[in-house]
């Protein structure tokens, strides 16, 4: 069994690679829920959605979020009604938000709702929210404290960032199965996700950091930073706000307590040498994932370092999308 800690974008690309080279049934993904928001009264969990969509063959790979081929008629109609439209939800995407919101309103937990949705969409891997308690990533800026989606999507991450905190984390509990997935995994993989707003919220849930410290499997992280810049998005600004350099050294520092192997890009070979001299195991690879082949190659490389016995090429599956399509 492999356990992956993940956000939504770099994380989904990495998971897309893993599912090509090993059985999805052997993958558990612990997903950040610090970005979750109430949108038009619905409970939206952007990272859970991206991971669910990639594993059901529904993800729009062009956009990196939402359902491929989706339409945006409801968004248009809400705009005509004077409702906010800065957070883009497609019509098929909305169906998932509606179902999740109904399940939560009926008293199901977020993990139970996630399991129902995954079951209906034919997801074979196990997707676990980091917690069933509400943990909210809050970004402190000169314009005030913002939710992650306000900072990232509404305001295009243009605000300077003073600090980031995870409201509710100290009172949260890991969702059922999370600690066990970490401790029983043959290897724990930290996706090339934003270390501050995707992985730190997971680590902030009491018990998870400790479980990583005592995990029996090796722990490997793929750097989302290549050559002193994130492949995409605001990770550099956010890392600086948390006192971490925007480099593979900053990624190594974020995970230093429990990391066994860091996988960084071949372009960072010199910085990798410096980290090796400090005692960390570092492997250089082609980490920028543009095609399905890139994703599979990176997944293969990472698995061969920590759990080569699980490698097994998988056929492409795209059944859930066909099931959701109109007849």
Chain residues that interact with ligand GDP, rule: CB under 6 A: 6-11, 13, 35, 47, 191-194, 198, 222-224, 230-233, 235, 287-289
Decide: 111 and 205 in contact? Cβ < 8 Å.
no
Query: Which residue is closest to ligand GDP by CB?
Result: 10
Between 61 and 108, whose beta carbon lies closer to ligand GDP? Answer: 61
Residues 6+ away with beta carbon under 8 Å from 82:
none
Q: What is the dihedral of CA 55, 61, 67, 70, to 10 degrees?
A: -150
Minimum gap (Å) between residue 99 Cβ and ligand GDP:
21
Residues 6+ away with beta carbon under 8 Å from 304:
311
How many Å apart are CA 272 and CA 281, to the nearest integer?
9
Between 80 and 291, whose beta carbon lies closer to ligand GDP? Answer: 291
Minimum gap (Å) between residue 194 Cβ and ligand GDP:
4
| 90-101 CB burial, b ≥16 within 10 A, e <16 | bebbbbbbeebb
* CA angle at 65 for the pair 61 and 113, rounded to the nearest 5°: 120
Decide: 127 and 114 in contact? Cβ < 8 Å.
yes
Minimum gap (Å) between residue 77 Cβ and ligand GDP:
26
Decide: 207 and 179 in contact? Cβ < 8 Å.
yes
Minimum gap (Å) between residue 225 Cβ and ligand GDP:
6
> What angle separates helix 91-105 from helix 73-80, to the nearest 10 degrees?
80
Minimum gap (Å) between residue 244 Cβ and ligand GDP:
12
Between 154 and 214, whose beta carbon lies closer to ligand GDP? Answer: 154
Output the six-digit token pair for 155: 């305001």
Decide: 257 and 209 in contact? Cβ < 8 Å.
yes
Between 92 and 295, whose beta carbon lies closer to ligand GDP? Answer: 295
Residues 6+ away with beta carbon under 8 Å from 21:
296, 299, 300, 303, 311, 312, 313, 314
**How many CB atoms lie under 10 A from the CB of residue 282?**
21
Between 6 and 56, whose beta carbon lies closer to ligand GDP? Answer: 6
Between 104 and 288, whose beta carbon lies closer to ligand GDP? Answer: 288
Minimum gap (Å) between residue 199 Cβ and ligand GDP:
7
> What angle separates helix 91-105 from helix 110-120, to the nearest 10 degrees?
140
Between 6 and 28, whose beta carbon lies closer to ligand GDP? Answer: 6
Minimum gap (Å) between residue 193 Cβ and ligand GDP:
3
Between 230 and 250, whose beta carbon lies closer to ligand GDP? Answer: 230
Minimum gap (Å) between residue 14 Cβ and ligand GDP:
8
């Amino acid at each position: 069994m492999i356990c992956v800690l993940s956000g939504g974008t770099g994380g989904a690309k990495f998971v897309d690679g893993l599912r090509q080279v090993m059985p999805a049934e052997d993958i558990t993904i612990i997903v950040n829920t610090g970005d979750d928001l109430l949108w038009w009264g619905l409970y939206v969990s952007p990272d859970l959605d991206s991971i669910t969509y990639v594993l059901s063959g529904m993800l729009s790979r062009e956009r990196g979020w939402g359902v491929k081929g989706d339409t945006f008629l409801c968004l248009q109609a809400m705009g005509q009604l004077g409702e906010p439209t800065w957070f883009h939800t497609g019509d098929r995407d909305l169906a998932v938000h509606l179902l999740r919101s109904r399940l939560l309103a009926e008293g199901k937990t977020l993990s139970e709702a996630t399991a129902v949705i995954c079951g209906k969409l034919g997801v074979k891997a196990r997707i676990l929210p980091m917690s069933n308690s509400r943990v909210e990533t809050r970004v402190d800026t000169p314009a005030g404290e913002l939710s992650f989606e306000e900072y990232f999507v509404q305001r295009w991450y243009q605000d300077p960032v003073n600090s980031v905190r995870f409201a509710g984390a100290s009172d949260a509990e890991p969702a059922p199965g999370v600690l066990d997935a970490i401790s029983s995994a043959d290897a724990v993989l930290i996706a090339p996700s934003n270390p501050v707003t995707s992985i730190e919220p997971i680590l902030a849930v009491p018990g998870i950091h400790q479980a990583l410290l005592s995990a029996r499997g090796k722990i490997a992280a793929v750097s989302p930073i290549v050559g002193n810049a994130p492949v995409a998005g605001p990770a550099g600004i956010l890392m600086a706000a948390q006192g971490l350099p925007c480099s593979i050294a900053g990624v190594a520092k974020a995970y230093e307590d429990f990391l066994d192997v860091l996988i960084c890009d071949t372009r960072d070979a010199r910085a990798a040498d410096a980290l090796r001299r400090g005692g960390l195991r570092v492997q250089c690879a082609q980490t920028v994932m543009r095609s399905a082949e890139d994703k599979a190659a990176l997944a293969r490389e990472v698995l061969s370092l920590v759990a080569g016995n699980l490698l097994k090429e998988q056929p492409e599956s795209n059944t859930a999308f066909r099931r959701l399509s109109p007849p």
